[in-house]
Amino acid sequence: MKGYYSRKLHSLLGVIPLGGFLISHMISNYKAFEGGKEGFMGAVHFLNSMPLVFFLELFLIWLPLLYHGVYGLYIAYQANNNVGNFNYERNIRFMIQRITGVITFVFVIWHMYDTRFQIMIGKITHDELGAVMHGIVSNPVLFALYVVGVLSATFHFANGLWAFLVSWGITVGPRAQRISTYICMGLFVVMSVMFILAMTGFRDAEFQAANAVIDIAKTVLS
Amino acid sequence: MAQTATASKSVKFIITRQDSPESKSYTEEFEVPYRPGMNVISALMEIQRNPKNAQGQTTAPVCWDSNCLEEVCGACSMVINGKPRQACAALIDKLEQPIRIQPMKTFPVVRDLIIDRSRMFTALKRVKAWIPIDGTYDLGPGPRMAESKRQWAYELSKCMTCGVCLEACPNVNEKTDFIGPAAISQVRLFNAHPTGEMNKEERLEALMQDGGIEGCGNSQNCVRACPKGIPLTTSIAEMNKETTKHMFKRWLSV
């Protein structure tokens, strides 16, 4: 595919559907903080009750994620970062965008292995997801790694949204680009706080399930 | 008397040199007597007059490229203390010493500080950065340009193809074929011209080829580095808008 279209598609998929998915993921996880186990289970059941849920996942999450991730690694490889000589805010964000992209890529693989993949191979059910998450975030080291992963993902999305607005010619002038920086960085802060609150929500003892599930969580983690 | 007072002061240089396009680069130190108001070019001229390095050994004079000496031709671009810029406008009084001078290695080095900027002119040809007015008969006067438009278009016309924006860009390198910010901004200039506008689709399509506008990653170093203060990132965003519109127009019209 010609470079222009492949890059344009990469930019589009990052926002629609992947950005949309990240926001919906954040909202359903935030239910764990707001409504406890009951709230989170309600969100899980709601998502799984959607029609054609397999195809929604395939076309709105997995395939866009694969394309955006693999092509994104290639874009990150292509840059010769030069923040040493050009120590400017936009150039630093350009570099962080590539670093957080790679971190997010690794984090998403790890996180999907722990959760969605275990459901796929039948080791756990959707109802046990809360317990799996409880097992992960109760471990201080894994909690810290999850914070890094989540901050990377939210920054990459918020800053990517800023770049999307430039790349599609929506914010053209310097003032528009400056104001969209404030909005996007505000979005980064709000999303980060909500995700981290959700993770603290999962630490609550009510997510602790029967021993069997914890054992599964442990084998998954080891 | 003034000469004896200033002769004691000297300016230190660390210059990255290269004897031929294929050979390895090395650094050589120079000490040049200070004169008030001197710039990097006049210091290089001094080395040319008295080609001795800081150790006092006679060496080959440093080669460089320059023409106008008033920051309008774009020939004397080099990396001075880490920043790509015009050597003729780099005043010694405003530079931290020792002054480190390197060629802009984004381009092929010919010798010492001389680089080959051909790729920029190739890029201008690729995007058709001109206005076709030749015909077999007199085509008559073209449409007039609005003064409000002329004012911002004039800023874009200041581009001297110096290559500083390409050197500053993290995405212009050997791993990509990105044409760089300068040529993209020239598309905006020629598409703004009332006669040039008649061929605007050709230029937009050139930007949508491999190595075109998709190579921009919004680091926005170009606009900070441009010695002429050209709003390069505004030009790029504007061309992003125009190519996006062109893409949808093309899809929906077949």
CATH number of the domain enclosing A93: 1.20.1300.10
Residue A207 has pLDDT above 90, yes or no: no
**Number of domains making up chain A:** 1
Task: Say if CB B215 and CB B179 are below 8 A apart.
Answer: yes
Superfamily of domain B2-115: Beta-grasp domain (3.10.20.30)
Q: Tell me the CA distances in angstroms from B76 to A124, A177, A195, B88, B116, one per residue in order.
A: 67, 32, 52, 7, 12
Kindly tell me if the per-residue pLDDT of A221 is higher than 80.
Answer: no
pLDDT single digits (tens) B220-241: 999 999 999 999 999 999 999 9
Confirm or deny that A25 is annotated as ligand binding.
yes
The pair of three-digit structure tokens given for residue A135, joined into one six-digit string: 């097992």
Per CATH, the number for B118-252 is 1.10.1060.10
Q: Is A68 annotated as a binding residue?
A: yes
Q: How does pLDDT run across A25-65, given as a tens digit for each residue?
A: 999 999 999 988 899 999 999 999 999 999 999 999 999 99
Q: Does A8 touch chain B (CB under 8 A)?
A: yes
The answer to whether B170 faces chain A, any CB pair under 8 Å, is: yes
Domain extent at residue A152? 3-221
A1: pLDDT strictly greater than 90: no
CA distances for B44 relative to A86, B38, B52, B60, B179, angstroms: 26, 10, 12, 12, 31
Decide: A192 and A151 in contact? Cβ < 8 Å. yes
Residue B78 bridge partners (DSSP): B85
Q: Which residue of A has its CA nearest to B240?
A: A169
The predicted structure's pLDDT at residue B134: 84
φ/ψ of B90, rounded to 5, equals -95, 100
| CB-CB neighbours of A190 under 10 Å | 13
Q: A156 pLDDT exceeds 60?
A: yes
Distance from CA of B18 to the nearest CA of A (A): 22
Residue A216: pLDDT band (50, 70, 90) is: low
Share of chain A above pLDDT 70, in %: 93
- Do A131 and A207 touch, CB atoms closer than 8 A? yes
ipTM of the complex: 0.91
Highest mean pLDDT among A98-102, A112-116, A130-134: A98-102
Query: Does A222 score more than 80 pLDDT?
Result: no
The single-letter DSSP state of residue B79 is: E
How far apart CA B21 and CA B106 sit, in angstroms, is 13
Q: Which of residues 69-128 of B touch A (CB under 8 A)?
A: 82-83
At B254 the pLDDT is: 82
Start-end of CATH 3.10.20.30 domains in chain B: 2-115
B143-155 confidence digits (pLDDT tens): 999 999 999 999 9
Q: What is the pLDDT of residue B1?
A: 46
All residues of chain B having their beta carbon less than 8 Å from the beta carbon of residue A170 are 241
Which one of B171, B219, B237 has the shortest CB-CB distance to A172?
B237
CB pairs under 8 A between A and B: 102
Burial class (CB in 10 A: 0-12, 13-18, 19+), B187: buried
**C-alpha span between A72 and A66 (Å, rounded):** 10
CB A92: neighbour CB atoms within 10 A?
14
Average pLDDT over residues B156-164: 97
**Residues 6+ positions from B202 with CB-CB distance below 8 Å:** B128
Q: What angle do CA A82, A87, A93 make, to 5 degrees?
A: 80
Structure tokens at B204: 């937009």
Q: What is the DSSP secondary structure assignment for residue A80, as one 8-state letter?
A: -
Q: What stretch(es) of chain B map to CATH 1.10.1060.10?
A: 118-252
Q: What percent of chain B has pLDDT over 90?
A: 92
pLDDT tens column, B185-225: 999 999 999 999 999 999 999 999 999 999 999 999 999 99
